[in-house]
Amino acid sequence: MTQETSEIQPKRVFIKTYGCQMNVYDSDRMADALAPHGYQPTQTMDDADLVVLNTCHIREKASEKVFSELGRLAELRAEGRNFLVGVAGCVAQAEGEEIARRAKGRVDMVFGPQSYHRLPDLIARAQAGEMVLETEFPTEDKFEHLPAANPKVNRSRGLTAFLTVQEGCDKFCSFCVVPYTRGAETSRPVEQVLAEARNLVEAGVRELTLLGQNVNAYHGLDARGRTAGLGELCARLAEIEGLARIRYTTSHPSDMTDELIEAHRTNDKLMPYLHLPVQSGSDAILKAMNRRHSRADYLRTIERIKAARPDMAMSGDFIVGFPGETDADFEATLSIVREVGYASAFTFKYSVRPGTPGADMDDQIPEDVKTERLAALNELVTAQMRGFGRSCVGRTLDVLLEKPGRLPGQLGGRSPYLQAVHLEAPERLIGTVQPVLIVGAGNNSIEGKIVTHAEPKGASVIESQAFAAIAAAERENRV
Ligand code: SAM
Ligand code: SF4
């Protein structure tokens, strides 16, 4: 043990994550940055030496939650608990000064997503009494400075993992804060992504979801200094032995290049499920949203995708009540949903985001109209999602078996279409992909029967132990 590590006192960090998968990934990387400095993750703020709120700014309620959590933390401090409080993520980036002012005395550090590799230094400054505010976009590459997770830690995180390959966005949709909070679009170099992916796979990860606010705009440099698109990156990842599945999210329709669509034809590890938000079915609204594609462009893109991969299931995001949205515009959204037929969908009421062009538009839609439209849209997409589940009954789907199920003898897994699948199977099959006959469909999951099963292919003793350890941890969490 070195002099340095022997002096480190064990401490606990509680990171509360709001919002999207990119924040889930970032929270893990913050934990990785803190681990060499003696911080162990804890599941409760009651015994934490450091509490970090990793915030989301995409809709109004998301940032309100942060202020109410800061109030709760202030009460704990008033009761005599001693811990540092940090606010990270997109609310910190967008409203850093406002938080520092409004939550004076309740928060010690406010820092944006590009500063996570500096966290140990920020903590030292806060401990010295400084109110730390770090919301610039630093020029150094944070990914180069963030330490890799310890293999044991990676193993404890399970069989599926997120991997951020792209950050920021240059599209400037008029409703969206991402270009302001996450900055200009950047892509991680191919070799950096491959190295992180190999570490994850060595630790037992079987499925990777590549993340980016606009992930299909990925254009990372390879070892020869050439630019690689997302399709090429997926091809390189598919060469990693032991990696069974690759997904990516979230994509912009205009960035579905021929190269990426072709990858869906040729790369068996790319799953036939694509999240491709359209937001609205009305050309007038798409124009006002600055989406840079029309309804017809979107539908043509889906045709091209399905020509390459006929079993592709679609998922989408929809916003109702964007300024100026008429009944006819909303009807066009319902009709595009009917035309595409979604396997899953995420629906939102438009939320005014200060600083975005949408906030200054006339014709803001009254709340009750938004509520009514959201309910109608939800009814339609829920029916489609259930219908998609039912359409899988009688099919044999490859299921990645991930963890023990709710009942004894049961396992839980995921279909290629990201559906939760329950089936009876022995625990030793956790971590393998098995053909499963789907025999039933509920509201949120499907049920299957294993057809024949292959024993874990070449699984090493370490991997088998890892699967068993994950299974045991899952059981403990359930109790
Ligand atoms: N890059 C993706 C795209 O181009 O569609 C979207 C990523 S965004 C982080 C996730 C989703 O949040 C969007 O697809 C949109 O439906 C929703 N969203 C973003 N801003 C919103 C706002 N101001 N009000 C309501 N929903 C919003
Ligand atoms: Fe936001 Fe996506 Fe539009 Fe970028 S492309 S501005 S992330 S909605």
Burial 308-330 (b: 16+ CB within 10 A, else e): ebeebbbbbebbbbbbbbeeebb
> Which atom of ligand 1 is the closest one to the Cα of 352?
23
Residue 467: per-residue pLDDT: 47
Helix locations, 137-222, DSSP H: 142-145, 151-156, 178-181, 190-202
* Residue of 20, 90, 172 with the most ligand 2 atoms within 8 Å of its CB, for mutation: 172
Q: Write down the pLDDT at residue 26.
A: 94
- Mean pLDDT of the 273-295 span: 98
pLDDT of 215 above 70: yes
CA of 317 to the centre of ligand 2 (A): 11
Q: What is the pLDDT of residues 362-386, one digit of tens each?
A: 999 999 999 999 999 999 999 999 9
Secondary structure of residue 403 in the 3-state scheme:
strand
Token pair of 194 as six digits: 């491959």
The CA 467 to ligand 2 mean position distance, Å, reads 37
Q: State yes or no: pLDDT of 238 exceeds 90.
A: yes
User: Which atom of ligand 2 sits closest to the CA of residue 172?
Assistant: 6
Q: Cα(175) to centroid of ligand 2, in Å?
A: 8
Residue with tokens 């009651």: 46
Contact 74, 85 (CB under 8 A): no
Q: How far is the CA of 176 from the centre of ligand 1 (A)?
A: 6
Secondary element (H or E) of residue 74: helix 60-78
Euclidean distance between CA atoms 9 and 164, whole angstroms: 31
Average pLDDT over residues 83-97: 92
Question: pLDDT band for position 8 (50/70/90)?
Answer: low
Ligand 1 atom nearest to 291, measured from its CA: 4
Q: Checking DSSP bridges between strand 109-111 and strand 84-88, what pairing results, if any?
A: parallel
What's the pLDDT at 455? 58
Q: Specify the DSSP element, H or E, that contains 140.
A: none
Around ligand 2, the residues with Cβ closer than 6 Å are 169, 171-173, 176, 178-179, 213-214, 252
Q: What is the pLDDT of residue 7?
A: 61
Q: What is the pTM of this model?
A: 0.90
In tens, the pLDDT along 41-78 reads 999 988 999 999 999 998 887 778 888 899 989 999 99
Q: Which two tokens stand for residue 77?
A: 């401090």
pLDDT category, 462, cuts 50, 70, 90?
very low
Cα of 173 from ligand 2 centre, angstroms = 5
Q: What is the pLDDT of residue 453?
A: 59
The whole-angstrom separation of Cα 201 and Cα 183 is 30
Q: Retrieve residue 35's tokens.
A: 């681990």
Average pLDDT over residues 395-413: 95
Counted residue by residue, the chain has a size of 479
pLDDT bracket for residue 454 (50, 70, 90):
low
Tokens of 206: 């079987």
Q: How would DSSP label each residue in 324-375?
A: T--HHHHHHHHHHHHHH--SEEEEEE----TTSGGGG-S-PPPHHHHHHHHH
460 φ/ψ angles, rounded to the nearest 5 degrees: -75, 170
Given ligand 2 and candidates 20, 164, 252, which is best to mutate, with the most ligand atoms within 8 Å of its CB?
A: 252
In 3D space, the residue among 17, 21, 474, 19 whose CA is nearest the CA of residue 247 turns out to be: 21
Backbone angles phi, psi at 51, to 5 degrees: -115, 125
Residue 89: the pLDDT is 93
pLDDT at residue 184 above 50? yes
Of 238-242, 398-402, 474-478, minimum mean pLDDT range: 474-478
Phi and psi dihedrals of 17, rounded to 5?
Answer: -105, 130
Phi, then psi, of 164 in degrees rounded to 5: -75, 125
The confidence score (pLDDT) of residue 240 equals 98
350 in ligand 1 pocket by Cβ < 6 Å?
Answer: yes
Structure tokens, 209: 């979801």
For residues 258-272, give the mean pLDDT: 98
What separation in Å is there between the alpha carbon of 399 and the centre of ligand 2? 32
Query: What does the CA dihedral 297, 350, 52, 96 come to, rounded to 10 degrees?
Result: 100
Question: Which ligand sits nearest to residue 168's alpha carbon?
Answer: 2
Which pLDDT band, with edges at 50, 70 and 90, does 466 fall under?
very low
Distances in Å between the alpha carbon of 350 and those of 73, 381, 479? 30, 17, 39
pLDDT tens-digit series, residues 304-351: 999 999 999 999 999 999 999 999 999 999 999 999 999 999 999 999
Gap between the Cα atoms of 92 and 27, Å rounded: 14
- Give the residue, out of 215, 275, 276, 317, with the most ligand 1 atoms within 8 A of its beta carbon, to mutate for a pocket test: 317
- How far does residue 327's CA lie from ligand 1's centre (Å)? 21
Instruction: Locate the ligand 1 atom nearest the alpha carbon of residue 317 and give its number.
Output: 16
The alpha carbon dihedral of 235, 238, 240, 241 has a sign of negative
The DSSP call for residue 35 is G
Pick the closest to residue 117 from 181, 16, 30 (CA basis).
30
Give, for ligand 1, the residue of 58, 256, 322 to mutate: max count of ligand atoms closer than 8 Å to Cβ: 58
Which of 320, 322, 318, 319 has its CA nearest to residue 364?
Answer: 322
Q: pLDDT digit string (tens) for 117-173?
A: 999 999 999 999 999 999 887 767 888 888 887 777 877 788 999 999 999 999 999
Bridge partner list, 134: 111
Specify the pLDDT at position 27.
95
Instruction: Report the relative pairing of strands 227-228 and 220-221 from DSSP bridges.
Output: antiparallel
Residue nearest to atom 3 of ligand 2 (CA): 173
Helix runs in 240-290, H state only: 258-266, 283-288
CB 330 within 8 A of CB 320: yes
Distance from chain centroid for Cα 240:
22
Mean pLDDT of the region 1-29:
80
pLDDT at 258: 97
180 CB near ligand 1 (under 6 Å): no
